[in-house]
Amino acid sequence: MKTYPSAIGTTIMLIPGILLGGTSVLYVLAGIWPALFINLAVMLFIVHLCLNTDYTITGDELLMRSGFFFSQTISIGSITAIRPSNNVMSAPAASLNRLDICYGKRKHQYVSPRDKTGFMMQLKALNPAIIVPDDIEKAIATLSDKRHQ
C-alpha cells in the first residue's frame, strides 16, 4: 500500500484566496461579521480539501480521497490509459497539472499526485496493459534493465 499526496497548485489556492480575502476585508470594514465568518469557514474548507487529497494504491485498487466528502475506488485492472491533462473539470485534484485516468467504458477521473512518475510507474507495474506516456515507458524499461544486470 502506498499513498501519494496531491500536488497543490497555486492557481487552486490563489483565486479563491484573492476573492475570499478581498471580500473579507470589505466585510471587516463594513462590520458584517456573519459574512466574514462564512468566508473564513469557506477558506478553511478549501485548505482542508487541498491538504487532505490523496491517492492510495492498495493491491488491485486505487482509492482517491478529497477531504471528508469525496472517496472513490477504481479497480486498477479497469484502467486503460493515463495521460497528462490540464482539464479544469471538478476532480479530486488540488492542482491543475493533472493526470487523466481512463478506465472502464469511456470513464475518466482527474488526479494530481505530487510524484506523477512514481504514481504512473506503480500503476503500470500492477497493470502492464495501461497505456502511459513514452517517457514513463522508457523509465520503466530502464529500471527493468538495471534490475536484470
Grid coordinates given for 18: 484573492
Q: Residue ranges per domain, the chain? A: 2-148
State residue 74's pLDDT score: 98
pLDDT, one tens digit per residue, over 43-68 is 999 999 989 999 999 989 999 999 98
Q: How crowded is the C-beta side of 50, counted as CA atoms within 13 Å?
A: 19
With both helix axes pointing from N to C terminus, report the angle between 134-148 and 116-126 in degrees, rounded to the nearest 10. Answer: 70
> Does 39 score more than 90 pLDDT?
yes
Q: What is the pTM of this model?
A: 0.85
Task: Tell me the fold of 2-148.
Answer: PH-domain like (2.30.29)
Bridge partner residues of 3 (DSSP)? 56
